[in-house]
A and B are shown apart, each in its own frame.
Chain A
């Protein structure tokens, strides 16, 4: 099912035609971008950070899965683990309240080390799981993810066991305290936009096209001289780097990290977010994450309003996920696309009818 759209062939880019570049993205894109940029004026800080920023962070992790699944046909459950590992490394090498473990490096050094280590880990797990194919990957990555969870739970010398690390703060940089609500929102927004752009760019680059080739027909790609395994491992590396950056943001958002961050629940949640949003476009995971965070935050009120026990949040998530998987394999954006398609078609049909019927323009059919 995880079939991403082939990026349509764009005409050769000419930097002097800015107007064309703006027009190419479509109105919806610019409206959304303006809305996101102006969001701090419109909503409270609760919505800004707890809902939007959190959704974008989860969206970035899910985006890394979308890249693997949509373009590479690899469904990996290890992305949340990569993010959690990056968060842990930030806590271990940077500052936290657990001073006997944390090394107290400057934040930028900790972040670089975190991204490197987490990317290496993600690539290694990828190398381990690409040796088997298809549906096996999901089992192996789930097993690796839970191994990491148990490691963090049982190891006290490095990961500080059950309690993990707390007191991790976002850095003060360029005279701005990035832990403040509005700077943090813009930081996350900027990173998400960058991540989205990176995914779109890589998908259109020769590497991305070759990756989509290996997804559609690995044997033919191998016959053409492409190294299928290497392409898949490289895809893991790219996706892991994305997830690692998101993990750094996640630990800054939570200001603490514990084994639960990379537990089996969150690991599966990322898959749910990506699938519910839709695996065919980079925007899908963000929509899925927004829906997930909204449901998670307001399910108590929602369920009690309907007259059910507010604790049945998981039931709601599970049922919603099942309905999406059963009826719309390409997620919420698939539903949206079908609706707009139908509207367009009925509009065209109406127009055609009018022409055939010879009605006066503007007359109701």
Chain B
């Protein structure tokens, strides 16, 4: 941190100023002049929170994607299909058992098993052939999409929010003042806040697992040099299968989460895949902190874009991607 400030004083200064302005925008009562130019504070705050929670969802999907890419050099273009599959499975289990947590768990497990099958039956036999693996994942994504369409049809589904997570909650942010001078507080859906906390917990757990455990050490070593790792006698295939299962399972889990506060329908797989692609390109491929950073940026860009420039909301995301590619082709968090 201190190192960063010493190396890039101008950038650090800009970041600090930006953070200060943001904090002021979040906590202060907006003067009328600001409301006139930027719109109501309620809109701004909800765009901010929606962006952060959307970023949380993107992080859940993209971290699996980036982990698989980092270790196995496998661009899993079927990742969006795994997301949608998890969502549909979660919906079915939720309807069957009535429990959201059971749906979450089973979606994770089933999709993890699908991931293991993909690694064991297909990718294991074409190691080191990046392009061929990617082509296989394209074929798989087409097949999965059609199978899901076959079994669930083209209807829109939504996973039922559990009782204990539904309803709004009051946040300690003032959105405005009543004429009586009384402060109006921000109300926000509890389920989105829970998802944000969930994603943060998953992120921290992943960081700890990668940096403090033996398996994590093997994974990091594998990311750096796969051949050397296997030469030291580690059963690399086992590490690969573990990572693939975990990454796929995370996509399935994200499917249930996304199905709870968004919706599930054919075409959602491609949308999520594209978002994860942009997240991973912006953040830096193969890096978990990069995925978190990219997810936050993309989520915020999408939400602020749809509020303040509705016709070009999606374009904004891609403009950011192009800008990052032009300045830092390896992504923001990539090691030099």
Interfacial residues, chain A to chain B (CB-CB below 8 A): 1-2, 75, 128-129, 131-132, 134-136, 138-140, 142-144, 146-147, 150-151, 154-156, 264, 268, 271-272, 275, 309, 312, 314-315, 317-319, 321-322, 325-326, 329
Contacts and interface: CB of A to CB of B under 8 A. Distances in A.
Contact of B311 (A134, A144, A154, A322): A154
Contacts of B73: 135
Contacts of A154: 311-315
Nearest to A134: B130
Contacts of A146: 270, 274, 318
Given A154-B312, A268-B138, 17 more contacts: A2-B131, A128-B325, A131-B325, A135-B73, A139-B75, A143-B277, A143-B281, A143-B318, A150-B315, A150-B318, A154-B315, A155-B311, A155-B312, A309-B150, A315-B142, A318-B146, A322-B139
Given A128-B325, A147-B318, A318 B281 contact: no
B221 interface: no
B147 A75 contact: no
- Main secondary structure on B side of the interface with A: helix
Interface in B271-317: 274, 277-278, 280-281, 285, 311-315
Nearest to A73: B131
A2 B131 CA distance: 9
B146 A144 contact: no
A132 B318 contact: no
Given A138-B134, A154-B312, A312-B150, A318 B142 contact: yes
A132 B329 contact: yes
B210 interface: no
Contacts of A312: 146, 150
A329 B75 CA distance: 18
A314 B129 CA distance: 25
Task: List the 6 closest A-B pairs by CB distance, nearest first.
Answer: A318-B142, A147-B318, A322-B139, A318-B143, A150-B314, A314-B146
B130 A135 contact: yes
B75 A135 contact: yes
Contacts of A315: 142-143, 146-147, 150
A27 B325 CA distance: 49
A206 B315 CA distance: 40
Interface centre among A128, A136, A156 (most CB of B within 10 A): A136
A271 B138 contact: yes
B133 to A, nearest CB: 9
- Main secondary structure on A side of the interface with B: helix
Contacts of A129: 325
A144 B281 CA distance: 12
Contact of B75 (A138, A264, A268): A138
B120 interface: no
Contacts of B142: 268, 314-315, 317-318, 321
Interface of B: 73, 75, 77, 122, 129-132, 134-136, 138-143, 145-147, 149-150, 270, 274, 277-278, 280-281, 285, 311-315, 318, 321-322, 325-326, 329-330
B329 A147 contact: no
A325 B312 CA distance: 37
B126 to A, nearest CB: 8
Nearest to B311: A154
B139 A140 contact: no
A325 B281 contact: no
A352 B321 CA distance: 63
A213 B22 CA distance: 52
Nearest to A146: B274
Nearest to B73: A135
A144 B143 CA distance: 24
A143 B274 contact: yes
B280 A140 contact: no
Contacts of A309: 150
B63 to A, nearest CB: 16
Contact of A139 (B280, B312, B314, B318): B280
B280 to A, nearest CB: 7
A325 B136 contact: yes
Contacts of A329: 132
Contacts of B311: 154-156
Contact of B138 (A134, A140, A272): A272
Contacts of A319: 139, 143
Contacts of B146: 312, 314-315, 318
Contact of A143 (B136, B321, B329): B321
B322 to A, nearest CB: 6
Nearest to A148: B318
A26 to B, nearest CB: 30
A139 B139 CA distance: 16
A354 B270 CA distance: 60
Contacts of A318: 139-143, 146
A322 B277 contact: no
A174 B129 CA distance: 51
Contacts of B77: 142
Contacts of B150: 309, 312, 315
A322 B122 CA distance: 10
Nearest to A150: B314
A321 B274 contact: no
A264 B270 CA distance: 8
Interface centre among B131, B147, B318, B321 (most CB of A within 10 A): B131
Given A146-B274, A154-B315, A140 B281 contact: yes
